[in-house]
Chains A and B, each alone.
Chain A
Amino acid sequence: MLQIEHLTKTYGEKKAVNDLSLHIRPGEIYGFIGHNGAGKTTTLKSCAGILAFDQGTIRISGTSVTDDPIACKRLLAYIPDNPDLYEFLSGIKYLNFIADIFEVPKDAREQRIARYADQFGLTADLAQPISAYSHGMKQKLAVIAALIHEPRLIMMDEPFVGLDPSAAHLLKTIMREHCDRGGAIFFSTHVLEVAEKLCDKVAIIKQGRLIASGTMDEVRGDQSLEEVFLELEGDGNA
């Protein structure tokens, strides 16, 4: 579904991502963990086609993000770490706008908006301007907007930040259902317990370089993910 080969992105002198290669298959929830500034957001943004990179290739279902970004973007949904949405629109107008852009048929969009808004408890607030939403409500709206066109690949940057426990639980359920239907999810998180319980595979990035990746069992062995992460992070500091 998502193939990242030798991705390199430099900001000035600093290599934010250095020769990173990852392969995310359909049906996988792939966790991406690393310290602050490790290169997670840069990788996700490059995959979403909103950040130009220096070297490497990124393919979504075999199509290069560089060669045919529009075709790739039809297949994916991206949720950034901070849900900066159109505060001048109401929640429902925002969702309808996203549906228009993805050309989601009328019945399908109405049904999906109703279903997800009900599930996230956002229905009553859909007529409110987004500027009146709390951070958590904006995050819920961003998630609904990401799901509205039934993407095959969902990329999320810290998706659980700001969500209340029931919304976080619901998101985890939706993520699992999405992958069970053949979709894939690539998301970054600092909550290692969530990654441990939810992810099929995990990648650990440090200073732009991939230092571990594989199935959860391969990466953690008989330790907890937290212990492995701290150990790997510590190696570089010694």
Chain B
Amino acid sequence: MLKPLLRVQLAALIASFTGMKRQKKRKTAGKVALIALALIYCAFTFMMLFFTSFSTLAGAFFPLGIGWLYYVMLVIMAFGLMFVGSVFTAKAQLFEAKDNELLLSMPVPPRDILLSRMAALLLINVVLELVVAIPAALAAPIWRMPALGIVSFVLVLLALPLLALALTCLAAWLISLLTAKIRSKTLLTTILSVVFLGLYMVGVTRLNSYVNTLAQNGAQIAGKLSAVAPLLWVGRACAEGDALSLILALAVMIVPFLVMLWLLSRSLIRILTTKRGAAKIKYVRRELRTSSVDAALRGRELARITSSSAYILNAGLGLLFEIIGAVLLVVKRQAVRGFLETFGLDSDILLAIMTLLGMFLVGFVFFTSASVSIEGKSIWILQSMPVPPQRVLRAKQGISNRITILPTLCMTAAAIWVLQLSPLRAALFAACMLLGMLLSSNVGLTEDLRHGSLNWVNETQAVKQGMGVLFSMLLGWSFTLAMGLLYFLLLRKVMSTITFLIALDVLMLLLVILTDRWLMTRGARRYQYMS
């Protein structure tokens, strides 16, 4: 029974990343290539980051004879990335999948259901681990390792995702329990996710300084960490090829997984079928508030967005970055101005850089990119109502723009103030930001209409792994990158930054009009008959 379940999980995982259906296989070769390219690019970027860090650590630890600490650092970093990267996916896949009840009603042992879902999570964990492990392996002087050390290194890498999976499942279960008990579960999940994301961002941005601190204080840290036996076992197994340490390290990684599997298998039916919902809300009859059709449509869009923490986080991350960017610009304005003076940067070049950076952040908002897919099987409601699809699409654009505009204006105002732009430059810069916002919203909606899927098992597939999101993200970033390259490699020599910004504004305005036209004609027809 496990095999068919694994096949289904694997197919769902592939489909969620590629948006492929069987009958469309032939048309998707280009799509697959594009996705593969994007994934390779992301993996390469992270690997380079980790390679730099591990090279520093290897140079510091091995000469001091504390090579074991190198492997401990590898295990800690890989574990952290796996845990933070998959805890909410685990929550959605294990405890909130729509087909849980269907599978439980079948003669399938709960352990097989669990194992099939865990296999998908394990695959994600292995990929995340490899992003850390490959650069670590390349940066380490492997030739100096004893044979058993190399074997230990491989075995530890194979076992570590199991430990991460065990603790991820535990955390996901706890979060699921916590969020089920309270009414404002979206808020709590969003806050928890932001905390996790914050930890991740802090980790990534400060990785260099952490690594330098580690490298400088290797001996002290080694002294302290050697008191933590499991870490010492891992380090010794890899660095010295100590068999006993290897056995103990593997036990520490595998046993929790087996215990978690046993515990969850025993209690899966109870966990999934126990209604832990918040207390029943009693209906009190009161006057109903009426709204215009457009306001009602926008209200529905807003309710949809705010009901899902996954949607808020994945689509609205750019807003957080915009706000952080604005605050940082204002708080660190002296440093920014000082930096400009120190390096004597041409203010026009800086304006071009800021414009491209701003466009990059604006292109990080994806509310429209999943707004059609997220409707799922309830799309029939608006399709069967006396509302032209154009108005539905306008509501999707409208609510996305209304949410986005304030952070965008804040970021724009902060940049204008800190960089002390002249009125003309400020106007062109602001136009770029606003047109970028409109274009991003239109492209997101277009891509979701073109590539979106209404058939998902849990909503994270629509908002996180949907093709609409991936394509609009790639298009947005590619556009910004292309404009940047065009300016710095070619146009800068033949035109002023002001002219470039005017051309950019005109181009974006044209694209906004064209995408809008497509949405109101072919896009609307597509929406009306989507199924």
Q: Which residues of A contact B (CB under 8 A)?
A: 48-52, 69-71, 73-74, 76, 78, 80, 82, 84-93, 96-103, 105-106, 109-110, 113-114, 123-128, 132
Cβ B386 vs Cβ A127 within 8 A: no
- B518-531 vs A, CB cutoff 8 Å, 1 = contact: the mask equals 00000000001101
Kindly state whether residue B281 has any CB partner on chain A within 8 Å: yes
Contact of A78 among B297, B384, B388 (CB under 8 A): B384
| B277 part of interface (Cβ distance < 8 Å) | yes
Q: How far is the CA of A79 from the CA of B297 in the complex (A)?
A: 20
Instruction: Choose among B280, B297, B307, B380 the residue that contacts A88 (Cβ–Cβ < 8 A).
Output: B307
Closest B residue to A91 using CB positions = B283
Q: Which residues of A contact B280 (CB under 8 A)?
A: 128
Partner of B282, one of A76, A103, A124: A124
A28 CA / B383 CA spacing, docked (Å): 25
Nearest first, the 7 A-B pairs at minimum CB distance are: A88-B307, A100-B296, A84-B377, A127-B283, A73-B386, A50-B383, A126-B283
Contact with A82, one of B291, B377, B381 (Cβ below 8 angstroms)? B377
Known pairs A48-B383, A73-B384, A78-B380 / 5 extra A-B pairs, C-beta < 8 Å: A78-B384, A90-B281, A91-B283, A92-B283, A99-B288
What's the nearest-Cβ distance from chain B to residue A90, in Å?
A: 8
Q: Return the chain B residue nearest A71 by Cβ.
A: B386
Contact (A127, B300) CB under 8 Å given A84-B378, A86-B381, A88-B307: no
- Which residues between 357 and 414 of chain B lie within 8 Å of chain A, taking CB atoms? 376-378, 380-388
> In the complex, A114 Cα to B285 Cα: how many Å?
8
Known: A51-B529, A74-B386, A97-B300. A84 touches B281 (CB 8 A): no
A113 to B285, CA, bound (A): 10
Once the chains are docked, how many angstroms separate the CA of A99 from the CA of B385? 11
Number of interface residues of B (CB under 8 A): 38
B314 at the interface (CB under 8 A from A): no
Write out the residue numbers on chain A whose beta carbons fall within 8 Å of the beta carbon of B283.
Answer: 91-92, 123-128
Roughly how many angstroms separate A109 CA and B285 CA in the complex, as a whole number? 13
Shortest distance from the beta carbon of A67 to any chain B beta carbon, whole Å: 14
* Interface residue? B293 (CB, 8 A): yes
B220 interfacial contact with A, CB 8 Å? no
A97–B301 alpha-carbon span in the complex (Å): 11
A102 touches B386 (CB 8 A): yes
Q: Is B31's CB within 8 Å of the partner chain A?
A: no
Q: How far is the CB of B209 from chain A (nearest CB, A)?
A: 42
Chain A hits for B295, CB < 8 A = 100
B181 at the A/B interface (Cβ < 8 Å)? no
Chain B's closest residue to A110 (CB) is: B288
Question: Which residues of chain B are near A51, meaning CB under 8 Å?
Answer: 529, 531
Query: Are A48 and B384 within 8 A (Cβ)?
Result: yes
CB interface residues, B 288-327, toward A, < 8 Å: 288-293, 295-297, 299-300, 303-304, 307-308
Find chain B residues with CB under 8 A from A114 CB: 285
Q: Which of B277, B307, B384 contacts A49 (CB 8 A)?
A: B384
Q: Is the CB of A101 within 8 A of B385?
A: yes
- Given the interface pairs A109-B288, A128-B280, the reply to whether A73 lies near B385 with Cβ below 8 Å is yes
Among B282, B296, B386, B529, residue most surrounded by chain A Cβ atoms (within 10 Å) = B386
- Taken together as a complex, chains A and B put the C-alpha atoms of A98 and B290 apart, in Å, by 11
Cα(A100)–Cα(B293), bound, Å: 6
Hey, which chain A residues are within 8 Å of B529, CB to CB? Answer: 50-52
The reply to whether B296 and A101 form a contact with Cβ atoms under 8 Å apart is: yes
Quick one: closest A residue to B289, CB to CB? A96
Contacts of A49 in B (CB 8 A): 383-384, 528
Bound CA–CA A110/B285 (angstroms): 9
- With A97-B299, A100-B293, A106-B288 given, is the CB distance from A70 to B282 under 8 Å? no
How far in angstroms is the closest Cβ of chain A from B143?
Answer: 58
With a cutoff of 8 Å between Cβ atoms, the chain A residues found around residue B376 in the complex are 84
Q: Which residues of A contact B285 (CB under 8 A)?
A: 114, 123
Residue of B282, B382, B383, B387 contacting most chain A CB atoms (<10 Å) = B383
Tell me, rounded to whole Å, the shortest Cβ–Cβ distance linking B389 to chain A: 10
A226 → B minimal CB distance (Å): 30
Q: How far is the CA of A105 from the CA of B288 in the complex (A)?
A: 10
B-chain residues with CB within 8 Å of residue A50 when the two chains form the complex: 380, 383-384, 528-529, 531
Q: Which among B291, B380, B531 is the interface contact of A100 at CB below 8 angstroms?
A: B291
User: A50 vs B530: C-alpha distance in the bound complex, in angstroms?
Assistant: 8
Nearest to A106 among chain B residues (CB) is B290
Q: By CB atoms of chain A within 10 A, which of B282, B304, B378, B384 has the most?
A: B384
| Cα–Cα distance between A86 and B386 once the two chains are bound (Å) | 18
Task: Find chain A residues with CB under 8 A from B387 CB.
Answer: 70, 101
Complex: how many Å from CA A114 to CA B286? 11
User: Which A residue sits closest to B387, measured CB to CB?
Assistant: A101
Return A162 CB to nearest CB of chain B, in Å.
15
Please, which residues of chain B bring their CB within 8 A of the CB of A74?
Answer: 386
Is there an interface contact between A70 and B388, defined as CB atoms closer than 8 Å? yes
How far, in Å, is B27 (CB) from chain A's closest CB?
A: 15
Can you give 28 A-B contacts (C-beta < 8 A)? A49-B383, A50-B383, A50-B384, A50-B531, A69-B528, A71-B386, A73-B385, A78-B384, A84-B376, A84-B378, A86-B304, A88-B303, A88-B307, A97-B300, A100-B290, A100-B292, A100-B295, A100-B296, A101-B296, A101-B297, A103-B293, A106-B287, A110-B288, A123-B283, A124-B283, A127-B281, A127-B282, A128-B283
Q: Is the CB of A101 within 8 A of B293?
A: yes
Interface: B106 (CB within 8 A): no
Which residues of the partner chain A approach B495 to less than 8 Å between Cβ atoms? none
Question: Across the interface, which residues of B come within 8 angstroms of A86, CB to CB?
Answer: 300, 303-304, 378, 381
List the A side residues contacting B345 at CB < 8 Å.
Answer: none
Q: In the complex, which residues of chain A have a beta carbon less than 8 angstroms from the beta carbon of B528?
A: 49-50, 69
Query: Given contacts A100-B293, A106-B290, is CB(A89)–CB(B383) below 8 Å?
Result: no
Q: Is B102 an interface residue (CB 8 A)?
A: no
Q: A82-B377, A100-B291, A101-B387 are in contact. Are A89 and B303 (CB under 8 A)?
A: yes
A99 to B291, CA, bound (A): 9
Any A CB within 8 A of the CB of B494:
no
Tell me the minimal C-beta distance from B523 to chain A in angstroms. 15
A49 to B385, CA, bound (A): 9
CA distance A52 to B528 in the complex (A): 9
**Residue B228 at the chain A interface, CB threshold 8 Å:** no
**A132 pairs with B277, CB closer than 8 A:** yes
Give the CA-CA distance A127 to B378 in the complex, in Å: 20
How many Å lie between the Cα of A109 and that of B290 in the bound state?
Answer: 10
What are the residues of chain A within 8 A of B281 when measuring CB–CB? 90, 127-128
Contacts of A88 in B (CB 8 A): 303-304, 307-308
Complex Cα gap A105–B296 (Å): 14
A65 to B384, CA, bound (A): 11
B284 at the interface (CB under 8 A from A): yes
Within 8 A of A (CB), among B488-531: 528-529, 531
Q: Closest approach, in angstroms, between the C-beta of A60 and any C-beta of chain B?
A: 11
Contact, CB under 8 Å: A84 / B291: no
Kindly provide the distance from the CB of B454 to the nearest chain A CB, expressed in whole angstroms. 10
